[in-house]
Structure 1
Amino acid sequence: MTIHVNIGEAKTRLSELLAAAARGEEVIVNKAGVPFATLVPTPEAMAMARDSRAAKRRAAFGCLAEKYKDHPPEAFDVPLSMTNEDYQARIARKLK
């Protein structure tokens, strides 16, 4: 999703816009209706955010960490419930 804001609005919503950019949204600051600048996170900020999310997941695992410590990380991957082709076929059946 792309967010377009003018300079005045960007001044008042800077924290919110920076958070949106850190989430991966494109934030474009306009001056007199013309795109003037784009907010993008630095690679270091992206790495810090990724590490923070990983730490929260590890903390949430919490009490079960000892029980599953010997399992490889791949053991916790959840397989897709259906393929894209299956999904498209299901939608086609519902729309008939």
Structure 2
Amino acid sequence: MEIINIHQAKTQLSQLLLRVQHGEKIIIANRGKPVALLSQYQEDKQPKRLPGRLRGQFTVPDNFNEPDEELISLFEGEED
């Protein structure tokens, strides 16, 4: 990784982008202090979320929101 100052990055942006396209990562610094990383853009490969796509494949029990006494006793340290 190479460190480039802001002025150099502004004047050589096209060349820096070509280097980044070939896999390089470049640190841009302001007065010698790194402030940004120039790297390749990575497309999000996760599929889009489709609400309702699992409709009908499972059911939520009627007591879903009821407290689980066994679980509560485990947390509170009480025994039956």
Normalised to the residue count of structure 2, the TM-score between the two structures is 0.50
Structure number with greater CO (CA < 8 Å, separation at least 6) is 2
TM-score (norm 1): 0.42
